[in-house]
């Protein structure tokens, strides 16, 4: 049995199902961003270090869970469109519309790079799938970038938990600092993007009037 400070349902999933349980937990983390991937992944690595699951199985199942969860959110964006997706998100607990709007702006600015690097940024790593679906990014491209980015992120944290063993929870402290720094940088980037677009509109209007 995996003993940890993780939410009990995550621990129970891994105790009962092993690596597939870790994959299910990560899929749910993609669908509900407030769930803690920085807890799930190192915990899976620790479980692998105890022999509860193999390291390869932990890596494969968590990555599969990431891709499945991302694909579900891509489908939501593609089927519902922006307005209905945002309206639904506004009614969900723990989901901030402002996070979706910042992610959307980031996607519009960076396109395919946003899907790849977004897998390594807290909150954005889940929500980036929605604007990708709304914009109907080619599915093979989306799946390829999602798989590659998720593999890198998951491998880093699973291996950290595997290496630290019983001290796997130490990872969360580093992730907390990383998350704060990256989120601040992402917000500043989005604000810069919005500011530049706002300044360009009057200039474009003035150019058209002179033309």
pLDDT in tens, 25-48: 899 887 776 566 777 888 888 888
Q: What pLDDT is recorded for position 140? A: 93
| 34's tokens | 């407030």
Phi, psi of 40 (to 5 degrees): -60, -45
How far is the C-alpha of 125 from the C-alpha of 54, rounded, in Å? 26
- Read off the pLDDT of each residue in 157-185 and give the average, rounded to a whole number: 69
- Read off the pLDDT of each residue in 73-89 and give the average, rounded to a whole number: 78
| 80's tokens | 């519902």
- Read off the pLDDT of each residue in 54-65 and give the average, rounded to a whole number: 94
pTM: 0.69
Which residues, 6 or more positions from 166, have their beta carbon under 8 angstroms from its beta carbon?
Answer: 46
Confidence band of 126 (pLDDT split at 50, 70, 90): confident
CB 134 within 8 A of CB 194: no
């Amino acid at each position: 049995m995996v003993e940890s400070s993780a939410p009990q349902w995550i621990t129970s999933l891994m105790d009962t199902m092993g690596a597939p349980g870790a994959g299910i937990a990560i899929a749910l983390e993609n669908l509900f961003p407030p769930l803690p991937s920085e807890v799930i992944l190192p915990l899976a690595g620790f479980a692998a270090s105890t022999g509860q699951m193999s390291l390869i199985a932990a890596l494969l199942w968590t990555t599969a869970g990431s891709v499945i969860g991302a694909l579900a959110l891509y489908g939501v964006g593609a089927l519902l469109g922006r307005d209905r997706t945002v309206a639904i998100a506004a009614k969900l607990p723990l989901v901030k519309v402002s996070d979706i709007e910042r992610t959307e702006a980031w996607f519009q600015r960076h396109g395919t790079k946003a899907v790849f690097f977004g897998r390594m940024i807290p909150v954005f790593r889940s929500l980036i799938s929605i604007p990708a679906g709304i914009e109907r990014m080619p599915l093979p491209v989306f799946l390829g970038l999602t798989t590659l980015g998720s593999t890198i992120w998951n491998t880093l944290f699973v291996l950290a938990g595997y290496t630290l063993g019983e001290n796997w929870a130490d990872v969360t402290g580093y992730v907390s600092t990383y998350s704060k720094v990256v989120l601040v940088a992402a917000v500043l980037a989005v604000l810069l993007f919005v500011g530049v677009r706002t300044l360009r509109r009057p200039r474009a209007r003035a150019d058209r009037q002179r033309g």
